[in-house]
Amino acid sequence: MSTLNQDSPRASLVEQRSIDYIPESERHGRLFSQFTLWFGANLQVTAIVTGALAVVLGGDVFWSLIGQVLGGTIMALHAAQGPKLGLPQMISSRVQFGVYGAVIPIVLVCLMYVGFSASGSVLAGQAVGQLVGVSDSWGILIFAALIVLLTILGYRTIHMIGRVASVVGVLAFFYLFYTLIAQNDIGLLLSNKHFSLSSFLLAISLSASWQIAFGPYVADYSRYLPSSTSSLKTFLAVGLGSVVGSQISMVFGVFVAALAGSQFAGHEVAYIVGMGASGAMAALLYFCVVFGKVTITTLNAYGSFMSLATIVSGFRGNHEISKALRLFYILLMVGFATALALLGQHSFLKDFSAFILFLLAFFTPWSAINLVDFYLISKERYDVPALSNPNGRYGRWNLRGILVYAFGVVVQLPFIATSFYTGPLVEHLGGTDISWIIGLTLPALVYYFVARNSGQSVPDQLILPVEPATV
């Protein structure tokens, strides 16, 4: 039953565990919470801006649904690992890279969390500033304090926020779409839909990158589900929530950008809210913007401290961290993201477009390797206790996995298009970044061949920690 311990009397408002294995006796939750969490996390202003980028950069978001489905499939396959292993996502990387070697992709994941948190905090800071009458900088600081509090509370609170954010997001987007349709000629906007290879690839790349970027932490939020939870149902709940939510946001974003033109960049939140709202309604919309950013930024903060704890635990040889150390990790990662937000708030749109495309070069190979190993090589048969033992089955460093990962990063370089680096083959593709396609397919094929012929020991069945007897 997927509702095991749903209303356990031992449940605490403050999460007691961190990166350690979740015993079956503490598993709880419903699959619907997985849907609402990812649906609510994507009904937010950064997704609107990502959709708008397709117009700002000369693309067409109407083709982005293909990318949403492709990227959503990949991230949802990661989500299905959570109930089976009862562990945060990145710890499973120790199977492919070794207990110490897994630090390589995890460090890069930490940078991703910080980058997304910083870019989201810029937009949230604009909304907080407008809502309470302070500067954007003070808005960012107020927002950061809220994120710290919610991250400390942890898993249950995050899912509760996701449920509320789904309701708030639906109401806000219903009003925004109604206002946009009532005041503008939607037929004229729709007539701008066109097809070219470059716009098609750009739309797919932007939307796929949005989804794939969730992969390194999606299982963090499904690991408390009972181990008997259907993998297919977990896959569908997470995938549909994320794809539907983000597509709604991005379609709205393309309409906004088409109407705004040059007025959009640097004033994203104010323009969205000001499309027909003033007074109390504008204040309510600013609140909705802030609340939408709370969900996804809390996910980023929670994932960042878990990744940092995973790095340290790999060298310490255990999965347990003290409450004081947990608080330190949270303050460190949120503080770093907030500092970046304050420093980069005036060049947000340009920096974010470069960031969201470039980060894929480092995470698509990891995703390909992790999924191929879990579903095709190990076939879900992991030795969970060995993940914290550098002298155990998976060793300190797995050179095969590390080398395939490095190959996966390097092979993408000719196809990357960012403001600070452009590969030599990008011009032939109309200036569009398709590195994520290369980074998924080639490392997956190479790792499958290498792992199948490596002779690495795979357990006969999934090995879980011995749980204490219940009275």
Residue 16: predicted pLDDT: 74
What average pLDDT does the chain have? 81
Q: Phi first, then psi: give them for residue 417, nearest 5 degrees.
A: -130, 105
Residue 397: predicted pLDDT: 93
- CA 372 – CA 142 distance, rounded (Å): 42
Residue 43: predicted pLDDT: 84
Give this prediction's pTM.
0.83
Residue 406: predicted pLDDT: 95
Residue 163 lies in a domain: yes
Chain-centre distance for alpha carbon 324: 26
Residue 293 lies in a domain: yes
Cβ contacts of 337 within 8 Å, gap of 6 or more: 113, 114, 115, 117, 118, 121, 144, 300, 301, 304
Residue 268 lies in a domain: yes
Residue 200: predicted pLDDT: 72
Residue 161 lies in a domain: yes
- CA 83 – CA 223 distance, rounded (Å): 5
> Which of 108, 82, 1 shows the shortest CA–CA distance to 402?
108
Return the CATH number at 131.
1.10.4160.10
Residue 414 lies in a domain: no
Q: Which residues of the chain have pLDDT under 50?
A: 1-10, 471
As for how many domains the chain has, the answer is: 1
Residue 367 lies in a domain: no
Residue 116 lies in a domain: yes
Domain that holds residue 215: 29-360
Residue 435 lies in a domain: no
